[in-house]
Structure 1
């Protein structure tokens, strides 16, 4: 969907829902003359078999009376209508009939919806939207709505079915049809719509859809906190945190109270680059003043903010508060703290946390390993760094980064351990990382340190050739 399609102007909903579909205009099977209409005999007999026979025999009996061509769509819908008060039997018959026409799907979906069998209704509509990429699905549902005494949320399920099928333009189209007829989707459906549109077309599109759903044209329907959280998250993901004030003003105007997730998103926007940690602290205090207890997401966000600014005393204080409040540290908590301590040069504390994290079964991310190795090499503990890398490489799913290799190569070259550095460079190349200027510089300085000037000259020539080649290509 490149863009949200414009509003359409369909006929009023009441005129659609009050009209009787063609399937209901026929007389009931019991009032017709079986000898005059063979199809009526089939329908009447099928209904009798389904209602009166036991489950083990009804399907074989039903199969025995069917013509070679099977049950027609019109007969299927008539039988479903007669079974609508026995939803499980009706849905079993629909599966048995193997009818894939739109009218049969709609009838079965209505039966499931009126009986509050939401998952079954959603599955049926999901199958229909895969088979029929047409507005006729909505029209057929509306025409058969009264005949099956359906439930209004069947239209919400149609919207969700389109969203599940990634047919976002159809979902928005149906939503606008409903809005134009005075019917508003459920708040949960509206939330799913805004989230999907925001992911596809960005936060501006999500805000536009919010205005359609809850703007001045729909004053009787108020959004809930989940709707606002979706908008805030979309703005955060689009790096438009400077616009969150608009959402907060709207929440205050509509008297929608924020929850802990709201604050977590707001905190994340303030802590993103570590430059607005003071504002984040004010928001943290505001949350506490309202009696909202922070969850693990909020704690991790604030801890990360302090780690980015190097304020490890505050980060550790929050970590202690979190534990005292009965919230266990996650892998993310450890990663923030380890990187923070390494950033300020507290390698020993970082290693204590690293070992504690490993003891608890958490897997360190590549960036954390990079930070630890970098700090170790700065302190001439490159051998320990290599041991850590080898242990991590034994873990399934871990793949060392270019930075890990570069850090270790630099460390061994500074020690003059050129053979070890050369082996790491060969391993690095085997993983698809070409040597760059940083690697060449490390080897040049390493060989120069041990007095092998001939190798220094060859490496300098090779490096210059590499740089010239890359410049000519670009």
Structure 2
């Protein structure tokens, strides 16, 4: 398998005539240096490594070869140790620790192959990343570092008896190093010779391109990788078939970018490819419909999941509950929540409570929102910032109920890792002043200033009116003067800033 793979990389499509020499290859030079079996140094080192005890072999090597080894000598030694990948790796670490070899891309590539054929994938990827760093210092300026490493791996592939997935490890290492263009280059060169990467590697490549570039870039790469726009060497390469995870990652990418209509397009393509969606696929499509307010379509997806007996887990329930709450169908959402707990035995998560609290606040039912919030706190869940702001807005936006305003202030005070917005602070200050809680309002205002929010005209007016309503006309008058001075100074600062700009 290894030999046939490398021949497909190195040789042209057309079969050569008998006795002809193949000189066309993927790179300018692909032949490995001849093995030096007669070199006594290599034989001695191999003998020491294989026959000495582990405690003595390293000290023996340091005493026999204090000047160390060339990269070529290291490669030849590890080639003789190819059936003992762990020993080869320890020898490499030994040379690095005592600076006994100035490793280059080629010496690392030899070890990468040996590690790969023994399925030591993590160590192989670490070596590839080192090779990429070493390639930066390479004197060969005609090619980038990924091409340099790729060429080296091909050059030593046959001699090391490597495994085809070594190129998958290279692509994944490129992605680890944010070398997306390099990863794409490797994929294209292999595919042009009729060689496909593993589907998991293809998915990782598409996913990283979507995250670091955009979803459209990932989608174009998907069509190229799976040969959907044109066939590449169809006579040599079995066409890859995407599976459900491929479509899922693309749907998620487009959903995150707000391209919800394209999510539906990807769903249709998945069906056309004969790929069966899983529960995660349905959740993504359901969330897409919910975000667009298309609850009838979302509920159809929900029912289809039931018919297909797909697992309705907490993610699925939270998706539907969140969609119903955003679209003011809180009663339905609460029924679904009860079904989740009583019939399915699935406990609510922090996200479930967040959805319900915000849903009730949006529907104007702040009392029910508080009931859910208190249950949430009893179960030691912390509400997210938007949930707390929705509660504060709901509690402060109604009638002049002193208790509700105090509740809102307490919620903000007790919230863990919550940083209120200017709007939240100003709303609290205004309502506390309206109900005469001036001392509490001053504490909120002091915290507001401490967070970098300067008092606005609305904040001053709230305090002026508040002190006036409790009969403290003197403080109210002083604040009016301070407000005029502050706003005047702020106006001058704004004018000066405009002139500088």
Q: Is the 8 A contact 1:20 1:147 kept in 2?
A: no
Residues 369, 389 of structure 1: 8 Å contact kept: yes
Contact map agreement 1:206 1:231 (CA 8 A) in 2: yes
Tell me which residue corresponds to 1:37: none
| TM superposition shift of 1:105 | 0.8
Among candidates 95, 104, 107, match of residue 104 of structure 1: 107
Residue equivalent to 2:214:
202
Question: Which of 242, 248, 255 pairs up with 2:261?
Answer: 242
Cα contact 1:76–1:97 (8 A) shared by 2: no
**Aligned-residue offset at 1:131:** 2.8
Q: Is the 8 A contact 1:339 1:372 kept in 2?
A: yes
1:116: Cα distance to partner? 1.0
Out of 195, 199, 209, the position equivalent to 1:183 is 195
- Kindly state the Cα deviation for residue 342 of structure 1 after the two structures are TM-superposed: 2.2
Deviation digits for residues 361-394 of structure 1 (CA, Å, limit 9, x no counterpart): 22222222222222233343222222232222xx
Per-residue CA deviation, residues 303-342 of structure 1 (Å, 9 max, x unaligned), is 1111112211111112122223232221111111111122
Q: Larger relative CO (CA 8 A, sep 6+): 1 or 2?
A: 1
* 1:174 correspondence with 2:193: no
Q: Helix, strand or coil for the counterpart of 1:361?
A: coil
1:348 aligns with 2:344: no
> CA 1:441–1:283 in structure 2 vs 1: closer, same or farther (change >3 Å)?
farther
Q: Which shifted more, 359-368 or 102-111?
A: 359-368
| Cα pair distance change 1:95/1:225, threshold 3 Å | same
Q: Say whether the 8 Å CA contact 1:444–1:459 is kept in structure 2.
A: no
Aligned to 1:57: 56
Deviations 1:151-172 (A, max 9, x none): 1111011111111111111111
Q: Does 1:287 align with 2:310?
A: no
Of 429, 437, 440 in structure 2, the residue corresponding to residue 409 of structure 1 is 429
Q: Does 1:128 align with 2:131?
A: yes
Q: Any gaps of 5 or more consecutive residues in structure 2?
A: 1-6, 12-24, 137-144
* Residues 209-288 of structure 1 aligned to structure 2 (within 5 Å): 209-214=221-226, 215=228, 216-217=230-231, 220-273=239-292, 275-288=293-306
Given that 2:42 and 2:76 are in contact with CA atoms closer than 8 Å, whether structure 1 keeps it comes out as yes
Cα distance in 2 for partners of 1:124, 1:320 equals 53
Partners of 1:440 and 1:468 lie apart in 2 by 16
1:458 corresponds to 2:477: no
- Out of 2, 10, 13, the position equivalent to 1:14 is 10
Specify which of 434, 449, 456 is matched with residue 429 of structure 1: 449
Give the Cα separation in 1 of the matches to 2:466 and 2:489.
19
Greater mean deviation of Cα atoms: 445-454 or 335-344: 445-454
C-alpha deviation, 1:447, in angstroms:
4.5
Query: What residue is the counterpart of 1:4 in the other structure?
Result: none
- Contact 1:20/1:146, CA 8 A, preserved across alignment: no
Give 2:175's aligned residue: 163
Give the TM-score, by structure 1 length. 0.88
Distance 1:53 1:267 in 2: 64
Greater Cα shift, 319-328 or 118-127: 319-328
TM-score, length of structure 2 as denominator length:
0.83
Aligned length: 448
Q: 1 CA distance for matches of 2:464 and 2:284?
A: 48
Matched-pair contact (CA < 8 Å) for 1:369–1:404? no
Tell me how far apart the structure 1 counterparts of residues 155 and 95 of structure 2 sit (CA, whole Å): 22
1:45 matched to 2:63? The reply is no
Contact kept, 8 Å, 2:317 with 2:336, in 1: the verdict is yes
Q: In the aligned structure 1, how far is the partner of 2:492 from the partner of 2:380?
A: 46
Aligned equivalent of 2:337, options 283, 301, 319:
319
> Residues 413 and 442 of structure 1 are in contact (CA less than 8 Å); yes or no, is this contact kept in structure 2?
yes
- C-alpha RMSD of the superposition: 2.5
Find the aligned partners of 1:188 and 1:243 in 2 and give their Cα distance: 23
Correspondence 1:73 to 2:71: yes
Is 1:90 the equivalent of 2:88? Answer: yes
- The farther-off stretch of 42-51 and 284-293 is 284-293
Kindly state the Cα deviation for residue 462 of structure 1 after the two structures are TM-superposed: 5.1
Cα deviation code 1:189-214 (max 9, x no counterpart) = 11111111111221111111011101
Q: Secondary structure at the match of 2:158?
A: coil
Structure 1, unaligned runs of 5 or more: 1-10, 33-39
How far 1:471 sits from its partner (Å)? 6.6
1:44-100 CA-to-partner distances (Å, cap 9, x unmatched) read 1110111111211111112221142x1111110001000000111111111112242
- What is the CA–CA distance in structure 1 between the aligned matches of 2:468 and 2:194, rounded to whole Å? 80
Structure 1 residues 461 and 55, CA gap change in structure 2 (3 angstroms): same
C-alpha spacing 1:441/1:167, structure 2 compared with 1 (3 Å): farther
Partner of 1:8: none
Contact 2:30 2:151 in 1 (8 A): no
How far apart, in 2, do the equivalents of 1:241 and 1:463 lie? 47
Q: What is the alpha-carbon distance in structure 2 between the residues aligned to residue 449 and residue 57 of structure 1?
A: 90
- Identify if the C-alpha distance between structure 1 residues 277 and 123 changes in structure 2 by more than 3 Å, giving closer, same or farther: same
Quote the Cα distance in structure 1 between the aligned partners of 2:225 and 2:493. Answer: 54
Indicate the larger mover: 96-105 or 351-360.
351-360
